[in-house]
A and B are shown apart, each in its own frame.
Chain A
Amino acid sequence: MGRFAWRNLLTRPLRTTLALVGLSIPILGVIGLFSLSGGLRNLVGDTLNKIQGVMVMRDNLPSPVFSDLPTNYGERLKAVPGVKVVAPEVWKIAPSVNGTRSFTRTASDLITGGGAKAMKSLLDMPLIQGQDIPTHTNLRSGVYPSSLKEKGEGRYLEPSDAGTNRVVISRKLSKDFLKPDGTPSGVGDKLRIGDKDVKEFEIVGIYDTGSMFLDVVIVMDIGTARKLLGVSEDQVSTFYVEMTDPTANDKVSLAIEKAMPDVDARSMNEFMANFGVIMSKVDIFLLMTVSLALLVGIVGIINTMLMSTTERFVEFGVLRTNGWSQGNVLALVTAESAFLGLMAGAISCVMAYAGVTIINQFIGDGLRLTLPFWLFGLGIGISLVTGTLGGLYPAWRASKLVPMDAIRLGSH
């Protein structure tokens, strides 16, 4: 009977193709969205794995850019048992770089390119990070120095750079801020940073973490950053803290928050957990959106199968005349719609594989769409269930026909 059901689909190629297209698109959407979601999780996971310390910042703020803490909190942090290194940092959104102001660029992108372009522009917005170079040199896990050593060029900041206009930038920023001849900025080139009081900064090193979240930072000495950004000596944005025992980050973070209630000591585990919660909510939202598309797919299958069964009243009458039970007819029509679902699932998986392979060639910034095997299974599973559910009503309707009525209705 399976072969019979299969042939019934093949004898109506146009209708079958249209039904497949209708169901494949939402299934492709499901796979694509989960793939993107998985890629983002991996990206954030990879990024956070590179950071082994704890970031101490003002409580209830989304980003270190908005945080401000008294400089003397550094001494209180050092007094917390388990803390080994406390490295003060100043974070701010960069003022104009080479004459381009970040906010202006984002607003312009929003107007000219819509939300997606503006979102990219927002993620690409360069940040200034001022580091206390001597203490940062003592850190076990310096993301920027290690990535510069692995894949970068030039050198990282040294204690002798304190108070100078020397910076380390990412390879991405070197391409974003080109030289007058249109080539990427390199070691020894200069960046002009500032809104009113524009200063020249010499690039001494180029790092490349491969993460879109990290590769937007211009790193300089904390004193230089204070002057550039107008941050007073008794204020920092955050403290980057490393523990004596790196496995005790969560425990020491709690101790820090207990000792200093107005700060938030965020371990990377906490960042990851928070991100996971956000992504779960995003996933639910995406699934709700895709559910609507799936609903349209089911309606498409119902329509296809209803038309198909209405045209085949005589056939069902003949089958019933030859001893087919209502259950046999129900099984035949359901098998046809299940095959449709299965084919749509398989097509979606092939398209998703091809699409992800192509897209991954073009997207960068450390983001890679992922296609784990379970996602293929999920796609085919949803498609199969959708196809089968969509075929149930037409199948039930076909099976309930009285054989004599079916033959008479179909003959007229």
Chain B
Amino acid sequence: MIDVADVKKSFRSGERTVEALRGVTCHIPKGRFAFIVGPSGSGKSTLLYLLGALDRPTSGRIVVSGTDLTAMSEAEQNHYRRDRIGFIFQAFNLISNLTAVENVLVPYLPRGLTPELERRAVELLTQVGLGGRVDHRPYQLSGGEQQRVAIARALIKDPEVVLADEPTGELDSKAGDEVYRILRRLQAERQTTLVVVTHDRRFINPDDLVLEIQDGLLKTDESEHQRNLIGAEV
């Protein structure tokens, strides 16, 4: 499903160069719930954004379902993000002057909305428990509710992969539990591949794939490595 091969990413920060990723190689099988964990500044989010084609690696290859992200043109990247990837951010990042249902429909605004799309958006909001709040603006929703809108926005396109960056980072534990409960249910129903960056290991189940990053390098323990290999064979 997702193959990352010797990916390096460096940034210029003033006079110095920061090496965020220093040669990461990993495989995430289709339909898995994968976590990327590690300390702050270890390169977790950078790897996640590269998987979403939000930026290009300095070197290495990333292949998602046979598509080489590093060889994509700008337009192909746009299509990839629009049709195949769903994003969930720590800070929810809803558009403040759009209603919940309009936020869910954001990927389709440039192309124009159809009644079918609007029906799907309302259905998704209902699935995440916000059926009665479709016309609410973000400021009228709690943090947990906003994150559920963001989940619906990520899922409206029925993506192959959902990428989540600390999705419970700004939520209390109850709201965090609710978000993971929804994510796991939707992943089970749709067989979507989920890749989640987190600090909080409470939400990791024994069957989940865990990729631990430290100083820009992948540090995977033996049991997880074995599971990765099994996953790769599947």
Contact = CB atoms under 8 A, between A and B. Distances in A.
A72 interface: no
A323 B78 contact: yes
Contacts of A409: none
Nearest to B110: A328
A350 interface: no
A148 to B, nearest CB: 67
B89 interface: yes
Interface string B141-154: 00000000000010
A60 interface: no
A379 B79 CA distance: 40
Interface string A20-45: 00000000000000000000000000
Nearest to B91: A411
A314 interface: yes
Interface in A318-333: 318-326, 328, 331
Interface string B76-108: 001101110001010101011110001000110
Most buried by A among B83, B107, B110: B110
Given A402-B54, A402-B55, A325 B97 contact: no
Contact of B55 (A4, A331, A404): A404
A339 to B, nearest CB: 14
Nearest to A319: B106
A318 B89 contact: yes
A344 interface: no
Contacts of B79: 323
Most buried by A among B54, B89, B153: B54
Interface residues of A, number: 26
Most buried by B among A4, A8, A320, A321: A321
Given A8-B97, A11-B97, A315-B95, A322 B54 contact: no
Contacts of B54: 320-321, 402-404, 407
Contacts of B83: 323
A354 interface: no
Contacts of A321: 52, 54, 81, 87
B109 interface: yes
Contacts of B87: 318, 321-322
21 contacts: A10-B97, A11-B96, A11-B97, A318-B89, A318-B95, A318-B106, A320-B78, A321-B52, A321-B81, A322-B81, A323-B82, A324-B78, A324-B107, A324-B109, A325-B75, A326-B74, A402-B54, A403-B49, A403-B54, A403-B55, A405-B55
Given A324-B107, A403-B54, A404-B54, 6 more contacts: A318-B106, A320-B81, A323-B82, A323-B157, A331-B110, A403-B55
